[in-house]
Amino acid sequence: MHRLKRWLVILLLLLIFILSVGFSMWNTAPVALSFGVHEFAARPLSFWLIIAFCVGGLAGVTIGAGLFRDARLRHRIRILEKELEKRARFKASEID
């Protein structure tokens, strides 16, 4: 079963690669990309789509790796440690 799964993944990746190469060869019309003030030079449509796919993949890997979640949790831990420290100082001054 594991071997079949591996072959299916390889075939799927090969199919995606072949379709991507074909798409790149057939979509060579230059397209200018504009973001309001900044305008990028005209490049083939396939170039812009490949860039968008790569940026989306990197964003997905970053989010999937939990980098943002871990940063939020570390921030929350720092806040709670400061609060605990304040409470400990308050209790110490209350005892005196």
- Return the structure tokens found at 6: 């591996």
Tell me the average pLDDT across 38-50.
Answer: 87
At 35, phi and psi to the nearest 5? -115, 75
Tell me the average pLDDT across 9-26.
Answer: 88
Torsion of CA 85, 86, 87, 88, to 10 degrees: 50
- Over residues 59-70, the pLDDT tens digits come to 888 877 776 777
Answer yes or no: are the C-beta atoms of 29 and 48 closer than 8 Å. Answer: no
Ranges of each domain in the chain: 45-96
